Structure 1
Amino acid sequence: MSSATLLVSAQNKIQVLENEVERYRTRELKLLDRIRSLQQQNIVLGNK
């Protein structure tokens, strides 16, 4: 395998991992928003 082929392969793998990280970040933000929402509802209901 040429070094150019190895470089492209590595770049593709990096891109796949970056996309995966972005999906996890998005999921984490959605979960944090959901937690905040539930905490607010809990406060409104008088449960602290």
Structure 2
Amino acid sequence: MKYEKPPKTVEEHIEVLIHRGLNIPDSERAKQYFRNIGYYRLSG
């Protein structure tokens, strides 16, 4: 099975969230949360 979309890096995920209107004042702290928790566990 070949996937159409390549996986995003942590930085790319943060850029997407900022583009969608999320205010992220400390990007280094956000990167730490992404690495420890994960993108999908952060969603409401």
TM-score normalised to structure 1 length: 0.27
Structure with larger RCO (C-alpha < 8 A, sep 6+)? 2
Task: Specify the structure having the higher radius of gyration (Cα).
Answer: 1
**Per residue, is there more helix in 1 or in 2?**
1
